Chains A and B, each alone.
Chain A
Amino acid sequence: MGSGQRLPRLLSCNLDDYEAQIPNLAMHCYLVTSDVDPDYNCIAWAVGDVHRHWWPTASAREGPAYWPQEATREESVDAFVEAFATLGYVPCDNADLEHGVEKLAIYVSLTTARPTHVARQLPSGRWASKLNVGIDIEHPELDAVGGGRHLSYGEVACVVRRARVGDPPAPTRPWPEGRPKGRPWPTDLHLP
């Protein structure tokens, strides 16, 4: 990793900005778990990598990104499934919580059908999402970051699963105390 200072000052920490761009957020419960960190994106966060971006860039000029050599370099669900297969994930037909199983949900744009986002299911049944290069959140429902308006992430097109291995990575930049933490769910919320 480079020695450049990790002090992004120009990215928004204002939750209103995120809710404006993903209107579903304002209608669902979510909890902010990490401050902005542009050094990794949502795909990386989903697979537990907090040091780089994962994206099937076509050339180096598009910026630094990692993509498994075994996977096709194109913005398609199939290519994402191939990439996740290198880590042991296989497609499955539901997003239900299963003991000892970790699932990833691949979102696609409602207009282009290209992948937009990936969320990782936590042992609690909630989902962990990094909003591109911005904040990390937990959300009980997949639809919290979905929808077709503005920059929303569309809909879940595919779910992949593997046996749960180890603990998920810790947030790189904890959300400062005292800031609003989103729209936390009721303490008696029970997930199916």
Chain B
Amino acid sequence: MKTLEPDAKFAWPGLEQDSIEVLPLGPWGQVGTEVEAKGGIYVLRRRYLRPERDVEATFRELAGVWERETLLVSSPTEAATHDSYQKIIGLGLQCVPLLLDRLRASRRNYFWALDAITHQNPAGHSECVGDAIDAWTAWGRDNGYLDS
């Protein structure tokens, strides 16, 4: 098994651009899965799903607005129905690495967005923010969204 490297995206012997489905950014679950390609089996890594610059800028703007405007909101439901939060969810899988980074830096409630986008909830019934962040961080690493 070989792992695709960022700069060798289509340079592996026998691997042609059309031979594997690198893009689009989904469906979820594609990251880390083995894919058949000419000359061998390859593993897709998160780097290929790196968000584009405009997505990153959009995410940062939306996250900043959401954190500021829900600073005093205790209800997760009310916070998650904020317009900016809904738009973050709308960015889809490409913002998962950004969400995980932001979650770890701010410790704000991005759990609902991660659940909505990935259909996963590794934090389960955690009661503590720290436990939930640890669970999502491990999930992110296991699934190629965060560097090990």
Contacts and interface: CB of A to CB of B under 8 A. Distances in A.
Contact of B128 (A1, A11, A18): A1
B115 A61 contact: yes
B138 to A, nearest CB: 11
A132 interface: yes
Interface of B is mostly: helix
Interface string B85-107: 00000000000000000101111
B72 A63 contact: no
A28 interface: no
A38 B129 contact: yes
A86 B108 CA distance: 28
Most chain A beta carbons < 10 A, residue from B74, B75, B80, B130: B74
Q: How large is the interface on B (under 10, 10 to 19, 20 to 34, 35 or more residues)?
A: 35 or more
A55 B73 CA distance: 12
Contact of B74 (A41, A51, A60): A41
Given A1-B128, A2-B135, A5-B104, 4 more contacts: A4-B107, A8-B105, A21-B71, A64-B128
10 contacts: A2-B133, A4-B133, A5-B104, A7-B105, A11-B106, A52-B127, A75-B75, A131-B72, A151-B72, A151-B73
Interface of B: 67-69, 71-77, 80, 102, 104-109, 111-112, 115-116, 121, 123-135, 137
A-B pairs with lowest CB-CB distance, top 7:
A2-B130, A2-B131, A38-B107, A63-B111, A10-B106, A4-B133, A2-B134
